[in-house]
Every structure is written in structure tokens, then in C-alpha cells.
Amino acid sequence: MNHKLIEGDLLARDAKFAIVVSRWNELITRRLLEGALETVRRHGGSEENVSVVWVPGSFELPLIADRLAKSGRYQAVCCLGAVIQGSTMHHDYINHQVAAGIMRSSQESGVPVLFGVLTCETMEQALDRAGGKVGNKGSEAVLAAIEMINLLQSIDQNPS
């Protein structure tokens, strides 16, 4: 192989995170937050370097995430929420806008803004993805944030 490989490791070291959490479906989002904080600790990070910001619902995640990403104080922002389908179509409108807003914030700020928002049909599915039998999406979002922080640093240190 003649190619150069650039990767980000999974060590949080002194990484500074903001975690934005939706109060809506707090039974679920609190579990996502617990998984996220545990992952920071497990990968060598400190909760002293984590700011947790609560917002009313998932629809509010992108605005606050964008403000935090552009503040210059954080190397990554993780958005945690849970939108459960229910009997109306509101989830389609919310999910699309939240995903687009989070992606836009990441691209415009140059700071990784991670999507840890559950988009489930039922409460049971959400519980399964918030520390149940399918894992914890909050943990996965922080793990991706750690890797992205380190990947961006590797790219900056190895420009060619």
C-alpha cells in the first residue's frame, strides 16, 4: 500500500464537549446523557470539560448547538433527543429539520456537531436505543465526537 492513512483515535484526553439535551421525552434523553458522560470518562476524558445544556425539545437542538459550536469553547457538540412517532406525522417534520440543522451547524462552524437523536416508532424502540438491548445512542454520539476531534487534529498536524 502506498497511501497515507489519517485516523482519529478514541482517546478523549483534554477534549472539550458540549452536550445539548432535549427535555422532551426526558425518560429517554436522560439515559442518553448518562451513556454520553460514561463514554467521556471511559475514554480518558473529564466531566469537568463537558458542558450540558438542556433545551425544551429536539426542534430546539440545532440553534443551541450552532451557538455552542461557533463559541470557540468546544471541540465538539453532541445533540441528544428522542422523537417518537406517535399517532400524527409531526415526527417527520421535526426529524428532517433537526437533522438538517445539525448538519448545517457542523459544516458552517467547522466543529463536529453530532446527531444523537433517536427517531423511533415506539417508546420501546427508544428505550432499546437508550441503554437497552440495542446500545446507547448518546454513547455512540460522544464516541464519534472523540474520533472526529482527533481526526481533525491529525489532519491539521499532517497537511500533506
How do 76-84 and 113-120 pair as beta strands? parallel
Does the annotation list 134 as a binding residue? no
Please report, for the chain, how many H helices and E strands are present, in that order.
Answer: 5, 6
Residue 56 and residue 22 in contact, taking contact as beta carbons nearer than 8 Å: yes
d(CA 82, CA 15): 25
Question: What are the distances in angstroms from CA 65 to CA 8, 15, 22, 78?
Answer: 22, 17, 11, 8
Does the annotation list 55 as a binding residue? no
Active-site residue, 90 included? yes
Residue 84 and residue 95 in contact, taking contact as beta carbons nearer than 8 Å: no
Does the annotation list 39 as a binding residue? no
Does the annotation list 99 as a binding residue? no
Please name which of 76, 83, 77, 39 lies closest in space to residue 58, comparing C-alpha atoms: 83
Helix/strand/coil percent split, the chain, to 5: 50, 20, 30
Does the annotation list 129 as a binding residue? yes
Does the annotation list 115 as a binding residue? yes
Does the annotation list 59 as a binding residue? yes
Per the residue annotation, which of 3, 43, 90, 91 is the catalytic one? 90
Does the annotation list 17 as a binding residue? no
Does the annotation list 88 as a binding residue? yes
Does the annotation list 77 as a binding residue? no
Feature table: binding site for 5-amino-6-(D-ribitylamino)uracil: 24, 58-60, 82-84, 115
Just list the catalytic residues. 90
Feature table: binding site for (2S)-2-hydroxy-3-oxobutyl phosphate: 87-88, 129
Feature table: binding site: 24, 58-60, 82-84, 87-88, 115, 129
